[in-house]
Amino acid sequence: MPGGNMLALALALRLLLPCTGQHHQEEAERIMATTPVIDGHNDLPWQLLKRFNNQLKLPEANLTLLEGTHTNIPKLRTGHVGGQFWSAYVPCDTQNKDAVKRTLEQIDVVHRMCELYPETFACVVDSDGIQQAFQNNKVASLIGVEGGHSIDSSLGVLRTFYHLGVRYMTLTHSCNTPWADNWLVDTGDDPLVHHGLSPFGKTVLEEMNRLGMIVDLAHVSVDTMKVVLNISKAPVIFSHSSAYSLCQHRRNVPDDVLRMVASTGSLVMVNFYNAYVTCGDTATLYDVADHMDYVKNVAGAQSVGFGGDYDGVPGVPTGLEDVSKYPALVAELLARNWTEAEVRGALAENLVRVFRKVEEVKVALQGTAPLETPIATEELEGTCRTHYGYSSTSGASTGQLAPATLALVLLRSLFP
């Protein structure tokens, strides 16, 4: 009878589901054995500062035994993490104070992680280094500076960070810099100042392109996103952001920007933080997969990556409790009929493609001299700074003077 047939079919499907799930999990493990995940943002260095004041040799700071964090070495191995942008993050309250010093200390922490655990971490600075780390079964460890306030509006500091191994910089954190607007401008919590980037901000972007440093647009305002995507010579990343249409949080990426991401060959590395996934206190692995699906559908599979934000957020989804859980998310993507090529792209190949294009732009600009014009002193804030080089008696050219100062010089020359 028809009712009996339907019941038998339902029972058969129920019995098959665990087998299907197991198959997807096995496929995820197989794929990740040769294409491990490169995650765009992990705040373990910040946890090492907060908990141990960066004393990595303390017994309780041992990364093999570390507890109470999303990240440790066994979890990285279980999660098939093959590449990680470690965040050199310092809070916005360091701006105009000791941001540069604090950031240098966090860069140093990443280098010391590689020195203390050479069997696990390989500090790398280019796309070839990532591939070499994969082959050696190590975690390719890259450094991202999270917030333009870390350079204290100095092109010299930006270049120095690059020489120390920094390969992306997030243009803002959750505060404006003297040259870029952050996402809180879009909520009304911070003032609109630059309509994206100031002229000096565009100089910072140009110098990042020249250096071969990836531009990261997580945390910036929508105007900043659009300005950068319109004028950057190289593709950019959102190292840890999700889709605005699924969760209307201003840290996420709206559809018109997703289309710009697609047209520029750029990348959105989807964030796992509950507040950016569901706009609530709780979320699941399936909700994160929804964001990855959405970015894929709007911007294309080549525009999707992983940006877990582990150890930088208070709440992560059920099923993605720590860095060991990436294979479960990959299994879910396979269950949603992502092809193996699309999965490998999201895991690593999309990021490597962007990185290589950034490196190609660097090569194309090799004959270009470093940019030297400093930010106008009037644009700087904070009382704990000197102003060497800005004095008219210091030998600075008129091209380095602020517009108002330059106008005054010209008026005096016309009417002595």
DSSP string, 325-385: GHHHHHHHHHHTT--HHHHHIIIIIHHHHHHHHHHHHHHHTTTSPPP-PPPPGGG---SS-
What pLDDT is stored for residue 396 in this prediction?
38
- Residue 103 CA to its chain's centroid (Å): 16
* Cα angle 101-103-108, degrees, rounded to a multiple of 5: 95
Give catalytic status of residue 309 as yes or no: yes
Amino acid at 275: A
**Of the listed 70, 240, 249, 291, which one is catalytic?**
240
Closest to 310 in 3D by CA, of 150, 157, 89: 89
Q: Check if 80 is active-site.
A: no
Judge whether residue 407 has pLDDT over 70: no
pLDDT value at residue 252: 98
Nearest Cα to 235, choosing from 350, 368, 144, 140? 350
Q: Which structure tokens are listed for 409?
A: 């010089």
Least confident piece of the model among 33-47, 186-200, 357-371, 400-414: 400-414
Q: Which helix (H) or strand (E) holds 411?
A: helix 403-414
* Nearest Cα to Cα of residue 307 among 297, 296, 292: 292
The reported pTM is 0.90
What lies within 8 Å, CB to CB, of 191 at 6+ separation is 176, 185
What does the pLDDT read at residue 382?
86
Please tell me what DSSP assigns to residue 275: H
Catalytic residue, candidates 24, 219, 249, 291: 219
- The catalytic residue among 287, 293, 309, 332 is 309
If pLDDT is split at 50, 70 and 90, which confidence band does 5 have? low
Give the model confidence (pLDDT) of 27-67 as tens digits. Answer: 999 999 999 999 999 999 999 999 999 999 999 999 999 99
Query: Which pLDDT belongs to residue 412?
Result: 42
Mean pLDDT of 216-238: 98
The first and second tokens of residue 169, run together, are 């910089």
CA end-to-end span of the chain: 107
Which pLDDT band, with edges at 50, 70 and 90, does 393 fall under? very low
What is the structure's pLDDT at 20? 75
Query: Which tokens belong to 74?
Result: 């066994």
Reply yes or no on whether the pLDDT at 319 is more than 70.
Answer: yes
Q: How far apart are CA 111 and CA 255, in angstroms?
A: 37
Q: Which residues are within 8 A (CB) of 407 and not within 5 positions of it... i.e. 6 or more apart?
A: none
Answer yes or no: 240 catalytic. yes
**pLDDT tens for each residue of 325-348:** 999 999 999 999 999 999 999 999
Of all residues in the chain, what percent carry a pLDDT higher than 90?
A: 87
Please state which of the ranges 192-196, 266-270, 374-378, 409-413 shows the lowest mean pLDDT.
Answer: 409-413
Catalytic hit among 24, 39, 43, 207: 43
What letter represents residue 44's amino acid?
L
DSSP state of 203: H
The residue-averaged pLDDT of 245-268 equals 98
Phi then psi dihedrals of residue 22, to 5 deg = -65, -40
Whether the CB-CB separation of 219 and 182 falls below 8 Å is answered with: yes
Both tokens of 178, joined, read 């003297």
**Does 408 have pLDDT greater than 50?**
no
Token pair 């804030």 is found at: 381
Q: Which of 39, 80, 146, 291 is catalytic?
A: 146
The pLDDT confidence band at residue 233, using thresholds 50, 70 and 90, is very high
Active-site hit among 24, 39, 41, 216: 41
Q: Residue 391's pLDDT is what? A: 74
Kindly report, residue by residue over 181-217, the tens digit of the pLDDT: 999 999 999 999 999 999 999 999 999 999 999 999 9
Q: What are the tens digits of pLDDT across the range 71-91? A: 999 999 999 999 999 999 999
The predicted pLDDT at position 10 comes to 47
- Counting every residue written for the chain, the total comes to 416
> What rounded mean pLDDT belongs to the chain?
92
- Phi then psi for residue 372, to 5 deg, are -120, -20
Region of 337 (left: φ > 0; alpha: ψ -120 to 50; beta: rest) is left
Higher pLDDT, 292 or 414: 292
The vertex-381 CA angle with 178 and 86, nearest 5°, equals 55
Catalytic residue among 24, 80, 149, 173: 173
Q: Hey, is 51 helix, strand or coil?
A: helix
pLDDT computed for residue 120 by the predictor:
98
**By the 8 A CB rule, do 310 and 43 touch?**
yes
Handedness of CA 399, 160, 265, 253 (dihedral sign): negative
**Residues 6 or more apart in contact with residue 243 via CB below 8 angstroms:** 252, 253, 258, 268, 270, 291, 294, 295, 298
* 70 annotated active-site: no
Pick the range with the lowest mean pLDDT from 8-22, 45-59, 237-251.
Answer: 8-22
CA 22 to chain centre: 32
- Whole-Å CA distances, 77 to 29, 39, 80, 99, 183: 12, 13, 5, 33, 34
